[in-house]
């Protein structure tokens, strides 16, 4: 069977990372989840797993050591890593952040909702979209199985 690639979460805030992980669980996402707490850690992980790159990266912007934009610059300059779709998940509404990250080739920029239900709806759309891209897989729910 084909091995399902992991989803990499790069997020320094423990509560935010837990929320993202919880939403993936609630949405029955089958991909394993890998969480790195800053850009430096994420880069180490990516560099040492080039034979098993993540299906996609959910990237926070404001992080210590190597921030999101800086990490994105490094990823997009690397011939192997540049093919991983990166979706920004942030609280930043700054136009400059949007311009910088889209200039670097992000595949989406989502502002995190504070309310969990709203956040879950957003994550559902993200997961469905990347499901259509063949990168994310979900467990079939009982309702699906009956159809």
Partner 1 sequence: MRDSKPILLLEDDTVDAMTVKRALKDLKITNPLVRTANGEEALAYLNDENNARPCVILLDLNMPKMNGIEFLRVAKADEKLKRIPAIVLTTSKDDQDRVQTFQLNVAGFIVKPVDYMKFVDAMKIVNLYWTLSELPNSDQETSNAKLETDNACRG
The one among 100, 120, 137, 138 contacting partner 1 by CB under 8 A: 100
How does DSSP assign 39-103, residue by residue? HHHHHHHHHHTTTS--SEEEE-S--SSS-HHHHHHHHHTSTTGGGS-EEEEES---HHHHHHHHH
Question: Does 75 contact partner 1 by CB under 8 A?
Answer: no
Cα–Cα distance between 24 and 7 in angstroms, integer?
10
Q: Minimal distance in Å, beta carbon 33 to partner 1?
A: 20
Using the minimum distance from each CB to partner 1, give the nearer residue, 103 or 139.
Answer: 103
Q: Which of 1, 2, 117, 134 touches partner 1 (CB under 8 A)?
A: 134
Residues that bind partner 1 (CB under 8 A): 76, 79, 82-85, 87, 93, 95-96, 98-103, 105-111, 122, 125-126, 128-129, 132-134
């Amino acid at each position: 069977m084909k091995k399902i690639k992991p989803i990499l979460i790069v997020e320094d805030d423990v509560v935010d990372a837990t929320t993202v992980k919880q939403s993936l669980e609630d949405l029955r996402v089958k991909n394993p989840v890998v969480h790195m707490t800053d850009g430096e850690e994420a880069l180490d992980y990516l560099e040492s797993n080039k034979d098993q790159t993540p299906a996609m990266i959910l990237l926070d912007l404001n992080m210590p050591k190597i921030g999101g934009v800086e990490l994105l610059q490094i990823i997009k300059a690397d011939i192997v890593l540049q093919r991983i779709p990166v979706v920004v998940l942030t609280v930043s509404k700054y136009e400059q952040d949007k311009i910088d990250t889209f200039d670097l080739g992000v595949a989406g920029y989502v502002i995190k909702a504070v309310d969990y239900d709203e956040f879950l709806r957003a994550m559902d759309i993200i997961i469905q979209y990347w499901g259509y891209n063949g990168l994310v897989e979900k467990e079939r729910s009982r309702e699906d199985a009956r159809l």
